[in-house]
Structure 1
């Protein structure tokens, strides 16, 4: 099995876009690099999120629009089996489009079901550099951060594909923050886009922002929403920055809220619904 990418394309199982329903189907095989921190038989949330974002970004792209909001709902454990990506434009429009992608997998009993869904709003863009602004605080550059693993208990599978630079240690009061980058491609044989690079790590925001000891607690996110007010600008060896904090209620339900960065500055925000349980 390849260890140079999270997914291998299965082109013989793909289906071209049909004009009648705009449905495009592609199939990808996960590698061992997608394995979750929370269990050896399911995928970490980051690679499936990135695979959905890739499908949405590439489906009938238009040069006068860009993806501005992406929501990924994890409908259950994403298994380590072939995934069928089904993509379509649900709400077409001249200025606003809604693109939907789903990951389908075959269960042990032979039935097919959607295990994750991504929805992305694409908005029409115009050239207005004079109004560009942001109030989000900057993140110190990667060169000033500390090379370190986030936690000794976070090992194997997906986590081992990341290189880390810690800015504010995890568990510290307020926002914790780090720079990270994936060492491998999203899909074998492809050069990742800026969105691919961002979404390949964005899901770890709940780990960056958690104040809980992962040896005593699990804190799985059931979804994530990313708002991008700027196009991600990543080169091959560039870092993705995340500053995040988790808040947890007294009933085991929490949320993570954070900021997303490339090396030129803030580019968006992320939120995640989180379910907390003792190990």
Structure 2
């Protein structure tokens, strides 16, 4: 039984060490991690590093720098651009090479901004989404072990209209790290990288379409544990694609995300 995505294993100098559990395993390849667990863990490191600053995260960008093994990883965070109103905090994840040296496998950068009262001019681009009936088949990786076991995935029954964006409601089923509290932003990070699978424009039995990044922009912080992604992929003529999505919680529209895709035919 998967109890969490990572176990904390203490410190190693400037790094915190975490053991990756089976809940991080990708549906593409069980030897590597799905993108959402590293994004969530690095988001946690950024939130911990920014505690007490009075700033809030407005953008998170995950760059996947290499295959992330399901193995012990080291995480650190630092202030890359200090500021009282605008600051950038970065976090990175390192994994061991076979020779014992370490390589960076993922990096998240976050813009943090000073909040102020703009409640009288709030605008939402889209109306709230209401969860409806779920489709009988949640996704094209039905039965895949690992990460997909740690998320409740409710694909919405959509009208039969060509080009309609897919909508899925998602909820994490396990904590991020041991029994440590998981913030709403971390819970969103635990599912948002799934936009690529939700908005898939290709059959995964015939094509690989793995994302190299996930950029999340939030005009409002998420609330709760349930999030909807309305996603759609676009495939170019030369093996590169993009997936974009609108992000919702139970209270309404909160932001957007975009992912760059490497597209290859399966041989």
Fold match (TM-score > 0.5): yes
Specify the alignment match of 2:120 in structure 1: 130
- Aligned partner of 1:38 in structure 2 is 28
CA apart distance, 1:49: 0.9
Name the structure 1 match of 2:41. 51
Find the counterpart in structure 2 of residue 149 from structure 1: 138
* CA RMSD across the alignment: 1.9
Trace 1:110-125 onto structure 2 (pairs within 5 A): 110-125=100-115
Q: Answer whether contact 1:206 1:246 (CA < 8 A) is retained.
A: yes
**Counterpart for residue 72 of structure 2:** 82
Query: Is residue 179–residue 240 contact of structure 1 (8 Å, CA) maintained in 2?
Result: yes
**Correspondence 1:250-261 to 2 at 5 A:** 250-261=237-248
Deviations 1:93-146 (A, max 9, x none): 01001000000111112211110000000000012210111112432x225444
Contact 2:2–2:150 (CA<8 Å) still a contact in 1?
no
Match of 2:2 in 1: 3
- Tell me if the contact between 2:60 and 2:216 (Cα under 8 Å) persists in the aligned partners: yes
Question: More displaced, 2-11 or 263-272?
Answer: 2-11
Unaligned regions of 5+ residues in structure 1, if any?
16-23
Structure 1 contact 89–100 (Cα < 8 Å) conserved? yes
Deviation at 1:81, TM superposition (A): 1.5
Q: 1:267 aligns with which of 254, 260, 263?
A: 254
Moved more, 247-256 or 56-65: 56-65
Report SS of the residue matched to 1:185.
coil
Contact 1:91 1:99 in 2 (8 A): yes
Number of equivalences: 265
Q: Secondary structure at the match of 2:193?
A: helix
**TM-superposed deviation, 1:25:** 2.3
Matches within 5 A, 1:1-279: 3-11=2-10, 13-15=11-13, 24-62=14-52, 64-139=54-129, 141-146=130-135, 148-153=137-142, 155-168=144-157, 173-234=163-224, 238-279=225-266
Is the 1:171–1:209 Cα contact (8 Å) retained in structure 2? no
- 1:196-240 Cα distance to aligned partner (Å, 9 max, x none): 110000000011111211111111000010000001111xxx311
Whether the aligned pair in 2 keeps the contact of 1:53 and 1:118 (CA below 8 Å) is yes
Q: State the SS of the aligned residue for 2:50.
A: coil
The range that moved more, 32-41 or 66-75, is 32-41
Instruction: Give yes or no for contact 1:172–1:211 (8 Å, CA) kept in 2.
Output: no
**Distance (whole Å) between structure 2 residues aligned to residue 154 and residue 203 of structure 1:** 19
CA distance in 2, matches of 1:244, 1:26: 34
**1:278 to 1:129, Cα distance in 2 relative to 1, 3 A:** same
Find the aligned partners of 1:243 and 1:136 in 2 and give their Cα distance.
Answer: 11
- In the TM superposition, residue 153 of structure 1 has moved relative to its aligned partner by 4.6
